[in-house]
Amino acid sequence: MAKKKIKYFKTPIIAGKYKGKNIEIPAIDTTRSSKSILRESLFNTIAYDVVDSIFVELFAGSGSIGLEALSRDAKEAYFFEKNPIAHRLLKDNIANISPNSSYIIYGDVFELFDDFYDRLKDKNEPTFFYFDPPFSIREGMEDIYDKCINLISKIKDPFAKMVIIEHMSNVKLPENIGSLELIKNKKFGKSSLSYYKVKKNNE
C-alpha cells in the first residue's frame, strides 16, 4: 500500500531580519500553524525583551514561533519536536532561515525537559518558554494539558523571563502554576495565549 503523500503549506515570517522568508508546515495531525495574528500579538507583547534572549519552543512543529523570535534578534532558539515528519521539515526550515542560532532537541519533551532545564539554569541567561501542545481533542491527547502544567511547574528560576502557552480557548488554565502567575490571557478564535511570569517574591 502506497504511503499517503504529505501536503505542505507555507507561512511567512512577519517581521525582523528574516521578514518575508517562508516557513513550510506539514499538514499532519500533530502540527498546525500558529495564526499570523496570534504570532503578531505575541511578539507585540514580549516586544524588545526577546532581543538577546534565549527562546525555547516546546512542541515546535515547523518552528514558526522560534524562527520568528530569531528574526526579531533573539540570541538563540531551541526547538523540541518528536514527530519524524515535522522534525525533518523543522531541520529544513532552520537550514533555510537561521542555521547558526538554532538547536533541535529530537524526542519527547516530557522525558528530556529536566536535563535541558538544568543546562539553562547553569547558563543563567534570560529565557522565554513557548508551549504549544497538540489540542486535547486529538486522540491520545486527553491529558496533554495536565502533563504540560506539571512540566511548567518546574520552571521557577529568575532567568525564566516568561512562559507562554498556546492552548484551546475553551480550556481555562490555572491562575498559578507552581512559582508562576498568570499575567495575561488573549483569545484568537479557537486558540488563546496565556502568559506567566515567575512571582516577584520568588525572585
pLDDT digits (tens, 9 = 90+) for 26-66: 765 444 455 788 999 999 999 999 999 999 999 998 999 99
Q: Beginning with the edge strand found earlier in the chain, give each strand of the sheet holding 176-177 in spatial order.
A: 102-106, 76-81, 54-58, 127-131, 160-168, 191-198, 180-188, 176-177
Q: Is pTM beyond 0.75 here? A: yes
Residue 92 is inside which H or E element, if any? helix 84-97
Flag whether pLDDT at 114 surpasses 50: yes
For residue 193, the number of C-alpha atoms closer than 13 Å in the C-beta half-sphere is 22
Flag whether pLDDT at 137 surpasses 90: no
CA dihedral 169, 136, 55, 117 (to 10 degrees): 130
Nearest by Cα to 180 from 147, 202, 151: 202
Flag whether pLDDT at 3 surpasses 50: no
